[in-house]
Amino acid sequence: MAERREEIEGKLSDATAPSSLANGTPKGANTRHGDQDTRPPQNGLKSPQRFSFSAEPTMEDIRRLQAEFTDERDWNQFHQPRNLLLAMVGEVGEVSELFQWRGEVAEGLPGWTEAEREQLSHELSDVLIYLLELAEKCRVDLPQAVLKKMALNRLKYPASKVHGSAKKYTEYQD
Ligand SMILES: [Mg+2]
C-alpha cells in the first residue's frame, strides 16, 4: 500500500508528464473508507492523523455511473455545460448552508450529529457528481487535468519559499 502511494506521489511530482498514468486513475490504493491514516505528518502539516478516501470508485467510475443515470432518464437534453455549472453552484450553496451560522468549524467536525454528517456527505457528493459531469461535457479529462494542475501549483508555490506562509504567489515571486 505504501509502495502504491509512493508511486502515485511520484507521478504527482512530475510536472512534465500529465499522461504518465497509463491506465487513467490509480486503483487499489491505500485504505478502506473512513480509515484514519496513521502516517507521520508530511509537508509540515501538524495534523497527527490524516484522513484518507477509499481507492474506489474512481473519477471515471463516477462519471460512468452518472452517465448511465442520466441516459436512463433521457436527461442529457438538459445537461449542457452551463446548466451543469449552475446545478453545481446550487449544490455548493447547499453545502454552505450546513456551515452557515456556526462560526469556525474544526477539522473532523466535532459536535456535528451523525445526521448532519450524513447530509454533508450527500451535498458534497452532489457537487462532485455535477463537477465530473461538467468536466465530461467540456471534454476535460479531470484525473489527468488535476495531476497537471497540481504540478503547476508546486511550481507556483515552491515549498522552500512559501512554507508556513499564506501569501499569494505574487507577493513572493522574484
Ligand atoms: Mg443537494
Interval 55-102: pLDDT, tens: 999 999 999 999 999 999 999 999 999 999 999 999 999 999 999 999
Measured from the Cβ of residue 84, the count of other Cβ atoms closer than 10 Å reads 21
Verdict on whether the full-model pTM lies above 0.75: no
Alpha helices (runs of H) in 55-166, residue ranges in sequence order? 59-72, 81-99, 114-137, 142-156, 159-162
Sketch out the chain's domains with CATH numbers. Answer: 1-56+161-174 (no CATH), 58-140 (1.10.287.1080)
Q: pLDDT digits over 9-56, tens only?
A: 444 444 333 333 333 333 333 434 555 554 444 444 455 689 999 999
CA 66 – CA 73 distance, rounded (Å): 11
Distance 22 CA to ligand 1 centre (A): 34
Residue 127 identity (one-letter amino acid)? V
135-145 burial, b for 16+ CB within 10 Å, e for fewer?
A: bbbeeebbbbe
SS3 at position 51: strand
Distance 110 CA to ligand 1 centre (A): 22
Distance 102 CA to ligand 1 centre (A): 20
Cell numbers for 122, please give them.
450527500
